[in-house]
Structure formats: structure tokens, C-alpha cells
Amino acid sequence: MSSNQPPPLVDYNLFEADAPLRESLEREGASWAHDLVHELGRLAGTEQAIDWGFQANANPPQLRTHDRFGERIDEVDFHPAWHELMKVAVGHGLHSLPWRESRPGAHAARAAAFYVWSQVEGGHGCPVSMTYAAIPTLRKSAQLASHWEPLMTTLDYDPGLRPAATKRGVLFGMAMTERQGGSDVSSNTTRAVPTGADGEHLLTGQKWFCSAPMCDAFLVLAQAPGGLTCFLLPRVLPDGTRNRFHIQRLKDKLGNRSNASSEVELDGAWAVMVGEEGKGVRTIIDMVNHTRLDCVIGSASLMRQAVAQATHHTAHRSAFGKLLSDQPLMVNVLADLAIESEATTILMMRLAGAFDRAADPAEARFRRVGVAIAKFWTCKRAIAVVAEALECHGGNGYVEESILPRLYREAPLNSIWEGSGNVNALDVLRAMRREPETLASYFAEVESGPADSRLNGAVAHLGRELTQTGDLESRARRLVEEMAVILEASLLLRYGDPSVAELFCASRLGGEWGHTFGSLNEGPALKSIIDRHRPRF
């Protein structure tokens, strides 16, 4: 008797099953990384890796503030599955690939690899992302970079709190936000008192959110005599003693449960200045921009995994006498989700390519505004995509074993990390005001594709809206949403599947769409789009 249940989605290659990603890797000049991403795609589809993801979330990290003798140790214990996930991520260079490789397309290669492996489990990507993002900021202090970067770019995952000089590899974190300010880091009260030695300070204060507190070192913002300044704070000092970095508690979070997020107290913790005194935000902003890119990658990854699960489930589940995937309304929903996923994947890879080509002033300007636009929009779209994909499974999607609940809990996080929606929308306006060339670079990008009346009309409308400056801030979300959709449409017209591009423009720009997924106009292309996005064994 048939159980009418789909077979497990296991033992398939996530990279080979993802046509938009494969095409983007080639287009962005990273075809040399094909074997790396292919291998990660194979690993990500194995039953063992999928089990690691479930185990790491079912067994969240545990804080041990003191040892049995009452001595302060501030250690976080992780399930073995977490360490296996980290070993694969670090071993494949997801924390350092662009800094190890001087070849063109290294950021795009790393984006594709991070996107594939994150589909297994998103939480362990936090220390991986922060380590990747910390290096551009550290390079503002040549002496610090020469000491730390060789350890940050090895392929050895070496957990445990020991002096950095005794380790095969290290990981970095970041601690900026405080209780009283949140995103408004200018209100930080953590104090940095000079010791008299060159650049050395003692930091005292509290950080309300410090993710991955088991990392070997952190970039921290604190108030020095000359104003808000960036510091490098190691967990263990060179003589082997623990720095005065005390973990007060781990956050009990909605999702991202495999990852430790904490409240910490700095009680005269030793740190050394990075960059100029009083220029802390300017110093750390490179790290923020790289982690914002990773929020986009993470959102694209969540969308892709949700679409893969939904298209697989409906291809094997029957109701009312036929497969769900043959029923017209379900076809409409699945195609709509696939369109959104493809648009996000292509946007993600285009932005990663802009990081690779940042030596070109036009690309640097586009990156400046494009990352904030994409961070605002794609992180919000991931929430809607995952919710709809969960519904495609019916009650089965609401059960933990389906993976959809974990994806659903994870989806809102990227919209909060590295600046909420309002912060990023306002950052787009700030970039346009301070550097008008960024807006010109945006329009040059969206107008570089093939002629399309719907895109042309949307670009013209956006131009008119931007000239109405009186209430620009209150309309920031509307404007940035419009900018994001126009950018995705332009990229799809240039690089996407023609059927996907046509339906995206007709629905998102042409008004042939409702307010929910599954309200596309009917057409023969819908099934071919689903087929393009459905994983195969």
C-alpha cells in the first residue's frame, strides 16, 4: 500500500541541481572554483551532513562560566555536529577564500560555496562570516594584519581557547551593540582607557549582543578619549591567561539555535586599537559591508533550500487524484517561488562580483549602494518565500523533521543582523546624499540590459520619485523596494532564464500579480520554470 509520502531529499548535489548558481559562477569569472563548489554541493546533499544540521540545532551550545574550582573560564560547549559543520566550512575556505586566492572571481566563488553549504545549516555560518569580513578592517593596521591574517586564512579548524600563537587557525567575532543604543552605536558607553603602550587600551563595559563568543578574537567598538574607536580584543592573552571578557549569558533565540549569541561584560579587558582613534565606525564599516553581503547570501540560501524542498515534495505527493505538482494552482505557487529564488541568486552573485571588481570606481560605487538595497529587500523576501514553501507541504511542513520550521525560524534573522530594514533603507538614502555618484552607478547598472518597456517605465517612475525630496525618509522603504525589484528585473533580463525574466517583469513590474505568491498569469512556461528549479537525484 502506497504511503503517498515523498522520498527523502538526500544524496543529491546541491550545486549541480541549481542552474542559476552554476550559470552565475561562470558569468562572474569564478569557473575555476567549479570543483570546490561541486564538492561542497555533494557533501551538502549527504544524509550525514543533513543529520549534522539537525543535531546541531537540537543540541544548542551550553555556557560554562566557571570551572569546578570556581575559577572564571567563560567557555561555550558545542555538540560534535557543530564542529563537523565548522570543519567542512573552514576546510573549504569559506572564511577566507578571497584573501587566500588572488584570482579574479574569488568573492563570487566564495559566495557560491557559502550559499551551498549554508543550506545544510545556517547558524554555524556566523563565525565563518565574521572571520571572512574582519580581514579588510584588520588590514587598516598593517602590524595587526601581519600577525593575525596568516592564522585567519588557514584551512585548519582549531577550536578551543589558547594563545593564538599556539593555534593552527583562529576565528573572529564582532561586538558593537549595547543595551541603550542597539543600532545607534554612537551612544555606546563602553570605555577604552589607554595603558600608555602604543595603541593598547583596557576596555570596560557591556555588549548586549556578541555572537559566537567562543571565537579567538573580536573587533569591538568602545569610547576612547578621542571618541568611538575600533579595537581588537583577543580572548586569550599571549601569556596564556584569559582576557577579562566575561560571558554573562547566552541568548535564548527564536532561531539560529546552533550558534551561541551572548551578552558579555568587559572588565578591564586588554585590547589594541585598529585604525584611527575616534573613527571606529569608519574603520569597522568594511567588516559590516562584507557581513551584509553574507546576509544576502544567507537569504538566497534559505530561499533555494525552501524551493528545493517544496518542488521535491509536491512532485511526489498526491491529493484529489493527482500529484500536487500537476495541479494548476500549486504550479502557479511553485513557479512564483522559483522566480523569486532565481532573482535573488543572480543578485547575490552580481554583488559578490562587484566585491571582486571593487578596484573599478564604478563597481565600488555600485557595490556601496547595491549591498544595502539587496540587504533590505532579499532578507525580507526570504521570510515570505520560506513561509509559502512550508505551506506547500501542508501539515508535514509544520513538523520539525521536514526542515521547514528551522528554515522559517532562521529567515527573519538576516533582516535584523547588520542593520534592520530601516537602517539599511536609510543607508541607501545616506549613500545617495553623500556620494551622488552611487545613484548614477545604480542607474547605469539597471539601464545596461536589453530594452523592455516595463523596466523602462519602472526606471522612469523611480527617477521621478527620487526628485521628490521633501518626505524622502518616510518613503525610504518604498523607494528601496522599488530599486531592488528594478535591479533584479534588469539582471534577469540580462542573465536569467528568459521565461523567468518575462514572468518576473510581467508580475513585479507590469502589474500582472496579486499580493501573494501564486498569482501569476497562467502560461505554459510555469512548469518549465519549476522543472528548472526542482532538484534531481
Taking the C-alpha atoms of residue 91 and residue 478, their distance in angstroms, rounded to an integer, is: 42
**Which own/partner pairs from 29-33 qualify as long-range (CB within 8 Å, at least 24 positions apart)?**
29/104, 29/105, 29/108, 29/353, 29/356, 30/104, 30/105, 30/106, 30/108, 30/109, 30/112, 31/105, 32/103, 32/105, 32/109, 33/97, 33/105, 33/106, 33/109, 33/112, 33/113
Taking the C-alpha atoms of residue 486 and residue 63, their distance in angstroms, rounded to an integer, is: 46
| Residue written as grid cell 577566507 | 96
Other C-beta atoms lying within 10 Å of the C-beta of residue 291: 21
According to the 3-state scheme, what is the secondary structure of 388-401? HHHHHCHHHHHCHH
Identify which of 327, 289, 341, 276 has the alpha carbon closest to the alpha carbon of residue 24: 341
Q: At what angle do helices 421-434 and 476-495 cross, to 10 degrees?
A: 80
Q: Chunked in runs of 10, what are the mean pLDDT values of the chain (537 residues)?
A: 86 98 98 98 98 98 97 97 98 98 95 98 98 97 97 98 97 94 88 96 97 96 98 97 98 97 98 97 95 98 98 96 96 98 98 98 97 98 98 96 97 95 96 94 96 97 94 96 98 98 98 96 94 93
| Residue written as grid cell 539599511 | 424
Taking the C-alpha atoms of residue 183 and residue 419, their distance in angstroms, rounded to an integer, is: 7
Taking the C-alpha atoms of residue 384 and residue 333, their distance in angstroms, rounded to an integer, is: 12
Report pTM: 0.97
Domains of the chain: 19-278 (2.40.110.20), 282-533 (1.20.140.10)
